[in-house]
Amino acid sequence: MISDHLDTSADTPQVEARRDLPPFIRPAVDLVARIRATVHAKLLAGFLIITLLLMGMGALSIAVIERMNNEATKLVDLEHQIELARVGIYQVTAQSHFRAMALITQVDNWNDKITAAKVRFKELMSELAVTGGPEIVEKVDELEAIDARFAAAGQEVLALYQQGELASALSLHIQVEHEISHELEDDLNALIAQSDASIEEAAAELASLHRFLLVAVIVIAAVTLVAALGLGAVLSWSVIRPVRRVDRALARIADGDFGEKVEVPNRDEFGRLTANLNRTSSRLADIYQDLTTLNENLEKTVEDQLAQIRRAEQLRRYLSPQVADAVLKGEAPISLESTRRNLTILYSDIRGFTSMSERMEPEELIDSLNQYFTVMTDVVFRHGGTLDKYVGDGMLAFFGDPIPFEDHAERAVATAVEMRERMLDLRRNWLLRHDEELSIGIGISTGYVTVGNIGSDTRTDYTVIGNHVNIAARLASIAEADQILLSERTLTAVQNRFSASPLNELTLKGVNRPIRIFELTAASVDVARPPS
């Protein structure tokens, strides 16, 4: 060791500089070393630069996320508008049907149902008016004006009916009241089409903002990384170089060369402190570097653990416990990124639950719904399905993602059959009045949809979007008690195991051609058993 120190005694400051400092950063290090400021101030300046870059990235992210939240809120309002409009169409159509039944059967109870439907329609219009801006309010005013004519015509028909002039009442209903109902339905369908177009625009804007935020974060993060590395290298070398010179000088002094002087270009503490203080500072710098590295490793470990916990919670929301555990163990790798895939969508809701809920206490209602959803969710999971969401007394599930299945259509249909069977068991267990008939209606559609995590940084849902989701919901809405309706694509995919009978074609807004629908009639195998 002594010989090593003696060997370096002949080194000139120029030779030491070339050995200590990489040549490509020497000018920057010399410039920083000659700045008349404390090391503390220099470090703070470096940290300030990095902080400003990070704050800029944070401010940009907050602004973009705020816009994304606004677009997401807009999407929710538009979906609510569509739902209210669809329910409004149902109420208008129901009034015409009730009127026809009243005129045909001469049973006054149908007139009471018309009154209830009119009240419900006015409530829907009031709700619709607060879901948008002035355009929606103006549209609601137009609808209410038409509804006023509809109500006036209905009063005339009712007066003729009460006077016993049934032929005149029927003629007036067909020529006036029924035609006005079509006006209401057409305007509501136009509103739905307009809202659908607005949803597409908002979704496109949301996707654009997401891409912009991703690119901006990557660019700013890259700039911040380069700046941090450059500043770190320059600042560290402005400290390390004088420390190394002090260390060599102290070694030569220990060998007896008491005339050795230390020359450093620094205009900070290192130019004023003694050799022993400089060596102490070097050791403290090493300790600080070790602590920084340890802290970074600890933060990364914590972030990795939190990410794993969040992923586990998210998977268990949508998938069965067995599938979620398999994914977390790496046995079934999946991706939750948004993509377009060929899936089968299942939508179901309860028939007769509304009337039953009117006589039940809130606690009993919630308990019954929880019991129903628990049973039906187990059925979906048992067949490998993914739970999307609960909508009132309905539920939406899809098959074929995130775990891909070739037989996703068969799994969906088998799930529907078992759900219908389990509903029979629940119906026997629930206390029903003699006039309550509780059943389930299910709609299934197969085709390409967009699936993935959709939402903001604070709240996301793994969900599906597309026409086939709407088709499945529409099929469920028109299905009769314990009826399972399939789209043509679904039937084509499952015709080796299931049989179905054709029904009337269904026309949907935004779809170029009518959709052929089928009612499930029988299966060639035990459909209660999950497909392999």
- What is the CATH T-level fold of the domain 64-212, as seen in this structure? Four Helix Bundle (Hemerythrin (Met), subunit A) (1.20.120)
User: Residue 16's pLDDT band (boundaries 50, 70, 90)?
Assistant: low
**Cα–Cα distance list, 59 to 52, 62, 329 (Å):** 10, 5, 37
Please, where are the H alpha helices in 38-108? 39-105
> For residue 198, what pLDDT is reported?
82
What does residue 351 show for φ and ψ, rounded to 5 degrees? -95, 130
Same CATH topology for 64-212 and 337-523: the answer is no
Q: Which value, to the nearest 10 degrees, does the dihedral of the CA atoms of residues 368, 371, 373, 377 take?
A: -170
Name which of 116-120, 196-200, 275-279 the model is least confident about. 275-279
Q: What is the mean pLDDT of the chain?
A: 78
Average pLDDT over residues 85-106: 86
Q: Which position has the higher pLDDT, 39 or 486?
A: 486
User: Residue 421's pLDDT band (boundaries 50, 70, 90)?
Assistant: very high
Bridge partners of 56, per DSSP, are none
> For residue 276, what pLDDT is reported?
53
478 Rama class: left (phi>0) / alpha (psi -120 to 50) / beta: alpha
Q: Burial-class residue 365 by CB neighbours within 10 Å (0-12, 13-18, 19+).
A: middle
- Three-state DSSP at 496 gives coil
User: Is residue 105 over pLDDT 80?
Assistant: yes
Q: Which position has the higher pLDDT, 284 or 248?
A: 248
**In this structure, what token pair is assigned to residue 475?**
């099929």
For 204-248, what is each residue's pLDDT tens digit?
Answer: 888 888 888 888 888 888 888 887 777 777 777 767 767 777 777
Residue type, 86: R
What is the Cα 224 distance to its own chain's centre? 30
121: nearest Cα among 103, 148, 156: 148
For 309-320, what is each residue's pLDDT tens digit?
Answer: 555 555 555 554
Domain boundaries, the chain: 64-212, 337-523
466 Rama class: left (phi>0) / alpha (psi -120 to 50) / beta: left
Q: Rounded CA gap, 175 and 183, in Å?
A: 13
As a residue count, the chain comes to 532
> For residue 397, what pLDDT is reported?
95
> For residue 4, what pLDDT is reported?
42
Name which of 47-56, 72-81, 263-272 the model is least confident about. 263-272
> For residue 267, what pLDDT is reported?
59
- Three-state DSSP at 460 gives strand
> For residue 127, what pLDDT is reported?
84
CATH of domain 337-523: 3.30.70.1230
388: nearest Cα among 459, 324, 446, 451: 451
Q: Rounded CA gap, 98 and 129, in Å?
A: 27
pTM of the entire structure?
0.42
User: Residue 169's pLDDT band (boundaries 50, 70, 90)?
Assistant: confident
User: Residue 379's pLDDT band (boundaries 50, 70, 90)?
Assistant: very high
